[in-house]
Structure 1
Amino acid sequence: MNPFEAITTLKSEMSKSIIGQDNLIDRIILVLLADGNMLLEGLPGLAKTRAIKTLSKYLDCDLSRIQFTPDLLPSDVTGTEIYQPSETEKFIFQKGPIFSNLILADEINRSPAKVQSALLEAMEERQVTVAGKTYPMEKLFMVMATQNPIEQEGTYPLPEAQMDRFIMHVIIDYPDDVSELGILHLNKQEVANNDQATKEKLETISQQHIFDAREEIGKIKVTEELEKYMVSLISATRYPERFSQELRDFISFGASPRGTIALDRCSRVNAWMQGADFVSPDNIHAVIKDVLRHRIALSYKARAEGITVDQIIDKILEQVAVVA
């Protein structure tokens, strides 16, 4: 099975367990192929945890779940040195849950900045330094951090500069009625077949398929005109006055160069997942909201008028000329 067939199979198998959240399945696979990390926001019970558990179920890899709480310590995430009172009488490093392939950082905004920064450092540098020694992450490594949008009391919002380290900020909503009915039937089936399901051996795809897919994605062609178009879209978030006074009034500050890099990487992955060998404007438009949603800060006027970042991105797409 080639990489494209393997990813198609993975997506198909995940869709059997996660009903009504096709966009979530698409995005979690896209972020994995882009070698990035994802911030996922949604109400309770919308299959956020189930999604990454299902991914690890059909992918030959390890999963660590970290429940972020106010009393969590950085060492609870990264690990710590433990004294070994044996013949050697020395300290040994005991790895924390961050040393896994897939990391579910559940309700990341429940823990203070010191714990958040420990996780974000590992995300950015792909390594952890403890007592002067550096320990690398796994080659296949992805963090999916979740946030609950309805509870703000007792939370520690991620600073804008740290949110920039997530390649995508994905927002999910309730499923439709038909999907909800399917969820109900699936739950009954899982309860009824629980004993039998545990005995069945699942067919998983190997990590090498992910690495091979990334290699193919790196060969996806992006024309110079499209590269300039992506830069212009990012530039519109930084210098909105060049495009319209309305944008200038609504944007406080825009995306960093990480936004440009993320837009390029995610556009290429989207093109590859569609079976194309080149990036089109449609591929850019398909990912731009999830790529820029957490990289644009709204002004006070925008927040007062109830303007959302997604609406701002729509206005930017209208203002910046699309290349042929």
Structure 2
Amino acid sequence: MRTKLPEDYEVVFDFAAIGMALLSLDEEFLKVNTNFYEFFGYNGNEFAEMTFTELVHHEDISMVIEEIKKLLSGQIPTFHLESRFLHKSGEIKWGLFSFSLVRDGKGDPLYAIVQIQDITSRKRREDNLSYRVEFERFVSTMSTRFINCPVDKIDEEIISALEKISQFLNSERIFIDHPSGITPSSTQELAEPFSEEDIRLIKVVGEVIFSAIQRKQTEIARQNSEQLISAAFAGSPALMMILSIEGRGVIDVNKTFIEALGYDRNELLNINIDELSNLVRPSDYERIYECLSQYGSVLNREIEMITKSGAKRK
């Protein structure tokens, strides 16, 4: 993989501060400088078996190929792009690269020159800043979302919040490069620790999640309590009736009450507060009403009930 350049250009090419490569018109590598090797991590023999577009990230390759086609067809003299590339280690790197053609005296293309500048650190900082703004917006609306969230959807909201935290923590890990010869997987480290603002945002999310969990536990306990009370009410051997204190009449009656007085359930539920005297001896009803009005409760008092057939039961 060797193409001879004029001596002056050879020096510029080899010692350029950015990566440079000469490509055939079929995108095969003819010559590569040191910075180009370091950017991708491959050696000369490996580059000899590759084409340039094989190094481009799959999500950007269509864009790059389209520009190369325009260049080869003469529609444009050169182009510049920011694109993602794949390092030999599998790491995704960002590069600002230019692609130009070298032509002979007749204007026919001989080969292409690719120049690439490593902008990975800058792109990571931009991504981190963008995600920080998004995360701050998420935190600012989080409390409202949890307050308005139905209890059965709280788990979904918690999972979503934890995913956001995970993404935020990962985005904040800006990696710095180490000298060549050491694998990135074993040498990447945090360039900056978390700031006080980072920690504050994470704490806010944690507090909101904790409150949501408490709210769900309270609701579950309430539902369980209601179920226990409902089961005790329905299965009690005693006659039980639930009345509205707002004058709406009977709210519910248990099975024992229905069987004892001989009424249909719907008949009892349609009775208003003034008609309750039809179920209880009038004198007992008056004493019950008086106690409720004065003390708010009636305890351990025998009363005489009147069945649907008119029979009396104590």
TM superposition score normalised by structure 2:
0.18
TM superposition score normalised by structure 1:
0.18
**Structure with greater Cα Rg:** 2
